[in-house]
Chain A
Amino acid sequence: MKADAPPLMQLNALRKTYRLRRTLIERLKGVDRVVTAVDGVSLSIQRGSILGLVGESGCGKSTLAQMLVGLLPPTGGTIEYDGTDMSGLAGDAWLNYRQGVQMVFQDTGSSLNPRKRIRTILREAVAARGLKGDCQDTRVAALMEQVGLDIQLLSRYPHALSGGQRQRVGIARALAMEPSLLLADEPVSSLDVSLQGQIINLLRELNENLGLTIVLISHDLAVVARVCDAIAVMYSGRIVESGTPDQVLTAPRHPYTQALLDAVPRGLERRDRKRTILPVESGPILTGCKFRRRCARAVNACETTDPKLATAGPGGHEAACLMVG
Chain B
Amino acid sequence: MRRLVHMFGGPGGLAGAILVLLIVANGLAAPWIAPYNPTDVDMINTLAEPSPDHWFGTDQSGRDVLSRVIWGGRASLEVSALAVVVGLAGGITLGLLAGFFNGGWLEQIVMRTLDAMAAIPLLIWAIALVGILGVGPFTVLGLTFGNEVKLLVLLGVLYIPTIARIVHTGALGESRANYVAARRLQGVGSVRIMVSDVLPNCLSPVIVQATLLLAIGIIIEASVSFVGLGVQPPAPSWGNMLADARNYLFSGEWWLSVFPGAAISVSVIAFNLLGDGLRDALDPRHTTQALTA
Contacts and interface: CB of A to CB of B under 8 A. Distances in A.
B41 to A, nearest CB: 55
Interface residues of B, number: 17
B132 interface: no
Contacts, number: 58
Nearest to A179: B185
Interface stretch (A41-49, A110-118, A230-238, A275-283): A110-118
B55 to A, nearest CB: 47
Q: Which range contains the number of A residues in contact with the other chain?
A: 20 to 34
B236 to A, nearest CB: 43
Contact of A98 (B185, B200, B290): B185
A78 B188 CA distance: 24
A105 B184 CA distance: 14
Contacts of A125: 186
Contacts of A176: 186
B121 interface: no
Contact of B201 (A69, A107, A115, A160): A115
Interface string B181-204: 111111110000000010011000
B293 A110 contact: no
A102 B185 contact: yes
B186 A113 contact: no
A99 B179 contact: no
A266 B217 CA distance: 66
Nearest to B290: A159
B181 A105 contact: yes
Given A110-B177, A110-B179, A159-B289, A115 B185 contact: no
A177 B184 contact: no
A128 interface: yes
Given A98-B187, A99-B186, A177-B186, A113 B179 contact: yes
Given A115-B200, A115-B201, A105 B178 contact: yes
A159 B292 CA distance: 9
Interface string A89-127: 000000100110111010100111111000001001100
Interface string A121-159: 100110011000000000000000000000000000001
Nearest to B183: A124
A95 B185 CA distance: 9
Contact of A111 (B182, B186, B201): B182
A71 B177 CA distance: 13
A177 B183 CA distance: 11
A99 B183 CA distance: 10
Interface string A174-194: 101100000000000000000
A71 B181 CA distance: 8
B185 A177 contact: yes
A173 interface: yes
Interface string A51-91: 00000000000000000011100000000000000000000
Contact of A173 (B182, B188, B200): B182
A190 to B, nearest CB: 12
A128 B186 contact: yes
B171 to A, nearest CB: 14
A217 to B, nearest CB: 14
A164 B205 CA distance: 31
B96 to A, nearest CB: 16
A128 to B, nearest CB: 4
Given A115-B200, A159-B289, A107 B186 contact: no
Given A113-B197, A159-B289, A128 B178 contact: no
A112 B184 CA distance: 13
Contacts of A98: 184-187
A176 B293 CA distance: 26
Most buried by A among B178, B183, B289: B178
A285 to B, nearest CB: 28
A124 to B, nearest CB: 7
B178 A107 contact: yes
Interface in A272-318: none
B104 to A, nearest CB: 14
Contacts of A173: 182
Given A71-B181, A113-B201, A95 B289 contact: no
A321 to B, nearest CB: 35
A186 B182 CA distance: 15
> 8 tightest CB-CB pairs across the interface, nearest first?
A128-B186, A111-B178, A105-B178, A113-B179, A110-B177, A95-B187, A159-B293, A110-B178
Interface of B: 177-179, 181-188, 197, 200-201, 289-290, 293
7 contacts: A69-B185, A99-B185, A107-B178, A113-B197, A124-B188, A129-B186, A177-B185
